[in-house]
């Protein structure tokens, strides 16, 4: 009896999917003809240009990974605004700063809503999280709770001591690992340590809870909670969003069949994630979100919505940005030396830097801005959707069109940025970047409400790592040519290869670190 290999199974699944597509081709073609007839007047208006579409699939075959690179190449051919048809969805891609400003200022309300993706709805409680719900009274309520109760300037300031505590614990564990190592120092998996740090800080500040590993426990990369949450995210990210590994979001006919088992894989990962959220809610039921009255099940549901938005959006993106920043610094040791010199001059060597120091550390802020320019957490931002007809760049955009803004391409536009692919923090210090559009947190009324917390956390984490560990001892592991900067794909922008490095504490900071 022959065994069915994974390749054979995949081939069989693909054949089934194509048979399903062909079976419904006539229905879909008829639907398109009827829709074209109903909207005949609209078709005469000047739509954005775009590549030739194929029947049924439209331009889905063009969605190569990483998607932001492919869309940038299409923009070079068709212009800064062009059209795509992704299965049953119509989309427009914007790749210039001027058109992005037009979309999120003149047409901000029109593009204030978000498209509903079936796979993303499975992850976001039916599309009820703050980053994915439709624009309206419910979104305004979530936004008000987030900005007033969770992420206000006063609340962010109150979070910083807890973030500092977790950061000192990480430095202490890294020093302990370095002291136990021999030779060049301790081998550090920065991706795991940074994710653990950010998640622990968010749990402490948002959910009033801690991971099961105390800050003084033996050195490990991640706590059980962080490991559990990280594994669920790693499973979910490749399955959701534009350019994901499934066609369910763009071909409604496939939503009934789950040909590739996407729904089952999402359900398994969501179940693991939600079990962690429920434990947090059960532990601190009344303090989470400061909800005092009403139905308890409703409280749990609303708390889970905010937990998903905060933990998923905060932990993955903030730790990922720090990982990109350290990758850039390891490839540019002269930048580390300049940043250390600034910190030594302004903060000194008798204490760790704190949040009050950040506004005075201009070069450190330049490093953060340059990292966010080169590697924005959401290279295509969060997808938007028009709720009315409008005109962008002289082109007609029909209601119901998905808007993708290629922030990655805008940040690297050679007509705007001098030497756009180079890592030059100085451009944000000498004023040469002034007036240029930088939108790593989005733009307009759907701009990320966690921007202030993210920037303060990034400054503290990156500044402390630079202050405490020596530039020449942050040697990369197993790659004399430098750190591999290959980009991954998904809703966010991960590194393909997790960042690992050999670290040693700076001699001038040893006394401070030993007292932590």
| Residue numbers belonging to the annotated binding site | 448
The DSSP secondary structure of 11-39, one letter per residue, reads HHHHHHHHHHHHHTHHHHHHHHHHHHHHT
Tokens read off for 380: 């295509």
Query: Residue 266 contacts by C-beta under 8 Å, 6 or more apart in sequence?
Result: 119, 122, 123, 236, 239, 240
Tokens read off for 171: 């430095």
Under a CB-based contact definition with an 8 Å cutoff, are residues 474 and 502 in contact?
A: yes
> At which residue do the structure tokens 């920065």 appear?
190
Cα separation, 396 vs 403, whole angstroms: 13
Under a CB-based contact definition with an 8 Å cutoff, are residues 59 and 50 in contact?
A: yes
- In degrees, rounded to 5, the angle at the alpha carbon of residue 491 between the alpha carbons of residues 129 and 61 is 125
Nearest to 278 by CA among 255, 253, 304, 297: 304
| Cα separations in angstroms, 113 against 133, 352, 383 | 7, 43, 9
Under a CB-based contact definition with an 8 Å cutoff, are residues 253 and 28 in contact?
A: yes
Residue 59 CB neighbours (<10 A)? 19
In this structure, which long-range contacts are made by residues 146-154, counting pairs with CB atoms below 8 Å and at least 24 apart in sequence?
Answer: 146/306, 146/309, 146/449, 146/450, 147/449, 149/289, 149/290, 150/206, 150/289, 150/306, 150/310, 151/449, 151/450, 151/452, 151/453, 153/452
Measured N-to-C along each axis, helices 296-307 and 262-283 cross at an angle, to the nearest 10 degrees, of 110
Question: What's the 3-state SS for 475-516?
Answer: EECCCCCCCCCCECCCCCCCECCCCEEEECECHHHHHHHHCC
Tokens read off for 222: 């991640």
> At which residue do the structure tokens 């991706």 appear?
191
| Cα separations in angstroms, 20 against 23, 53, 59, 250, 257 | 5, 20, 18, 14, 9
How many residues in total does the chain contain? 516
The DSSP secondary structure of 110-137, one letter per residue, reads TT-B----HHHHHHTTTTTSTTTSPSSH
Annotated binding-site residues for heme read 448
Longest CA–CA span in the chain (Å) reads: 77
Query: Residue 423 contacts by C-beta under 8 Å, 6 or more apart in sequence?
Result: 328, 331, 332, 335, 370, 374
Write phi, then psi, for 206 (nearest 5 degrees).
Answer: -90, -50
């Amino acid at each position: 009896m022959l065994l069915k290999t994974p390749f054979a199974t995949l081939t069989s699944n693909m054949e089934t999917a194509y048979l399903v597509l062909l079976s419904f081709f006539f229905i879909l073609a008829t639907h398109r003809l009827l829709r074209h007839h109903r909207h005949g007047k609209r078709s005469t208006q000047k739509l954005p240009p775009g590549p030739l579409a194929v029947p049924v699939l439209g331009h889905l075959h063009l969605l190569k990974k990483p998607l932001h690179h492919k869309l940038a190449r299409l923009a070079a051919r068709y212009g800064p605004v062009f059209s795509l048809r992704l299965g049953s969805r119509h989309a427009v891609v914007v790749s210039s700063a001027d058109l992005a400003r037009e979309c999120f200022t003149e047409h901000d309300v029109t593009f204030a809503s978000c498209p509903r993706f079936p796979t993303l709805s499975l992850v976001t409680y039916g599309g009820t999280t703050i980053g994915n719900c439709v624009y309206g009274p419910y979104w305004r309520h979530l936004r008000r709770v987030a900005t007033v109760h969770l992420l206000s300037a006063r609340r962010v300031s109150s979070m910083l001591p807890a973030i500092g505590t977790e950061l000192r614990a990480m430095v202490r564990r890294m020093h302990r690992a370095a002291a136990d190592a021999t030779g060049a120092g301790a081998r550090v998996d920065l991706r795991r340590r940074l994710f653990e740090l950010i998640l622990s800080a968010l749990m402490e500040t948002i959910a009033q809870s801690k991971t099961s590993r105390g800050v003084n426990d033996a050195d490990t990369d991640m706590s059980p909670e962080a490991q559990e949450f990280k594994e669920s995210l790693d499973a979910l990210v490749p399955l959701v969003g534009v350019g994901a590994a499934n066609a369910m979001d763009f071909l409604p006919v496939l939503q009934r069949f789950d040909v590739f088992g996407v729904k089952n894989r999402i359900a398994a990962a969501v179940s693991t994630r939600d079990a962690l959220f429920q434990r947090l809610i059960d532990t601190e039921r009344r303090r989470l979100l400061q909800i005092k009255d009403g139905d308890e099940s409703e409280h749990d549901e609303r708390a889970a919505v905010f937990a998903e938005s905060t933990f998923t959006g905060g932990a993955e993106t903030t730790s990922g940005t720090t990982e990109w920043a350290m990758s850039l610094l390891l490839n540019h040791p002269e930048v580390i030396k300049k940043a250390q010199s600034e910190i030594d001059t302004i903060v000194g060597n008798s204490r760790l830097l704190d949040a009050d120091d950040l506004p005075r550390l201009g070069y450190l802020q330049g490093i953060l801005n340059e990292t966010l320019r080169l590697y924005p957490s959401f290279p295509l931002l969060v997808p938007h959707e028009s709720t009315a007809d409008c005109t962008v760049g002289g082109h007609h955009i029909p209601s119901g069109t998905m808007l993708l803004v290629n922030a990655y391409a805008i940040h690297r536009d050679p007509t705007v940025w001098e030497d756009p692919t180079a890592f030059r923090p100085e451009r944000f210090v000498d004023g040469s970047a002034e007036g240029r559009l930088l939108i790593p947190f989005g733009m307009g009324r759907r701009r990320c409400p966690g921007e202030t917390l993210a920037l303060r956390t990034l400054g503290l984490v990156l500044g402390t790592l630079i202050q405490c560990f020596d530039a020449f001892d942050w040697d990369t592991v197993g790659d004399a040519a430098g750190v591999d900067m290959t980009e991954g794909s998904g809703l966010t922008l991960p590194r393909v290869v997790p960042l690992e490095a050999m670290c040693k504490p700076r001699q001038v900071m040893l006394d401070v670190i030993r007292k932590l």
